Structure 1
């Protein structure tokens, strides 16, 4: 039997506290952290993506942060390829890779034998959909997907038009929905994985999300987004992210600033709900409830014990 590379994965909804927990765990297990967030790859997008600072890293090496310009696209397949190389690289230096983030499909694609090269495409159909998007809008496009593949429509936000179009294209080319295509993929784990999830009382989580948005505004989110807006960056993947598209609406003059911030909070809460649904339905996660702040030390101990037992490791405690 081939020994699989060991990987620790820490997932959970936005604002649940993954960053601090991951640093503490990485120190205990001589780890390096690979960002599993599809938006922290972008430069100049720090506040809105809650990107970890150098100070917060506290000496723990981090990978796949600030590797793309905001006008560049980034696919699940590219993420899969980059992360797998990083896992091998980190192991080669005697360290343990931690994948930390909240983008479920991206993380799933790394851990399982997902074959993206086999997915067919049709450029003509894609261009036609892009024309429809321009004339009829993202809501119309999303409703088209909802009729064909309700499960995919549930998981893909209507403003993520690139993925909506891709889901429609897969169905057009194969007669199968994206959901059917994903379910047909191999369910065998490629790595020896300890899959840890952080969860929290829903009401408390939503309070934290709202507070985080207020903090982002205090830290200068509006100036960060204004810089991207005034640079002429439009209709690209990066600014479809929550935190950016809402403020773009404000700069476009379609909503007030108060309404934009309210939309940002609401979209963040909805995203957290979708993240939890994805993780619970698609991945075999061992969950740890972090609602009670006073029990943080115990939670770290419990998670460390779980990881050590699952992967036969010793911590540096």
Structure 2
């Protein structure tokens, strides 16, 4: 039988971390991080990285394995996930992937066929620097010419995906959409995907409160240390909760405006996450959660998951 992989998805601040830990406690599992920002060392408060106390002794994998200067991709995650799943299978542990980076989860669970073109870091960094100085429009227009299908799926503000699509075309002569069209949605795993959702207004209130709490816990000091050591151009500094501070460091925005921008960007991100999950990831078992009644929903999830696992063992 293919390795069993449980995946917990949902918008930021919905409660994925707690659910993942509880699943591991009840079903002899270990967590594999699926949040692209939590791979980086030092990015703790702004990513809501699990603390030792919160983890309750449950091992968490693929956290803190990268330096802020390292690049990482969905293809990297796909390979790392495969390795961790096999390790946990050998230990007779249930892999529980927790995280909200939709494309990473989708491509790893459903075995995306990534381009064989190796990354050209010089091309990427030169293109991104040019975009910062002159705008993304020329690159996005070129992408529309060489790969209109991919251009229709990538927002021009997502400059790394725009550049990656062009990089694939430049190095292989084939549009990235050709590779994606070959996806079969055939998983190398036996997946069980749990999706958490929440009333939109309640979720937004939780996001706003969480950002305020992050500031109280020292987010400004965390980002300052990173910025002073690595600058604002490294890939990890482009994440929400970090990139918004760059205008503050450059004395272009007051701190209050930065905090409000983080809240707004996080709310918009949560909305995009849900849209992506519902449109791109098949066979998700969705649950509506209430912050005041988490345990009731969790018990239902545990019961359904137990039924799924029992059927596999019949």
TM-score normalised over the length of structure 2: 0.89
**How do 1:8-157 and structure 2 match up within 5 A?**
8-119=6-117, 129-130=127-128, 132-138=130-136, 141=139, 148=148, 149-154=150-155
Q: Matched residue of 1:312: which SS?
A: helix
Alpha carbons 1:145, 1:153 under 8 Å: kept: no
Aligned-pair CA distance for 1:235: 1.2
Aligned-pair CA distance for 1:106: 0.8
Summarize the Cα distance change of 1:233–1:128 in structure 2 as closer, same or farther, 3 Å threshold: closer
Aligned-pair CA distance for 1:170: 3.2
List gaps (5 residues or longer) in structure 2: none
Q: Which residue of 2 aligns with 1:293?
A: 291
Aligned-pair CA distance for 1:76: 1.4
**How do 1:165-244 and structure 2 match up within 5 A?**
165-171=163-169, 178-179=176-177, 181-244=179-242
Greater mean alpha carbon deviation, residues 207-216 or residues 132-141: 132-141
Aligned-pair CA distance for 1:311: 2.9
Q: Following the alignment from structure 1 to structure 2, what is the Cα–Cα distance between the partners of residues 265 and 258?
A: 11
Alpha carbons 1:146, 1:153 under 8 Å: kept: no
Aligned-pair CA distance for 1:166: 0.3
Q: Which residue of 1 aligns with 2:272?
A: 274
Q: Matched residue of 1:235: which SS?
A: coil
Alpha carbons 1:162, 1:237 under 8 Å: kept: no
| CA deviation map 1:215-264 (0-9, x unaligned) | 11111000000011111423111000101100122111121111111111
Alpha carbons 1:192, 1:311 under 8 Å: kept: no
Q: Matched residue of 1:231: which SS?
A: helix
Greater mean alpha carbon deviation, residues 248-257 or residues 122-131: 122-131
Q: Following the alignment from structure 1 to structure 2, what is the Cα–Cα distance between the partners of residues 124 and 216?
A: 35
Q: Which residue of 2 aligns with 1:306?
A: 304
Q: Following the alignment from structure 1 to structure 2, what is the Cα–Cα distance between the partners of residues 29 and 86?
A: 17
Q: Following the alignment from structure 1 to structure 2, what is the Cα–Cα distance between the partners of residues 97 and 126?
A: 33
Alpha carbons 1:152, 1:178 under 8 Å: kept: no
TM-score normalised over the length of structure 1: 0.88
Q: Which residue of 2 aligns with 1:161?
A: 159
Cα RMSD of the aligned pairs, angstroms, is 2.5
Aligned residues: 308
Aligned-pair CA distance for 1:53: 0.3
Greater mean alpha carbon deviation, residues 106-115 or residues 236-245: 106-115
Q: Matched residue of 1:42: which SS?
A: coil
Q: Matched residue of 1:293: which SS?
A: coil
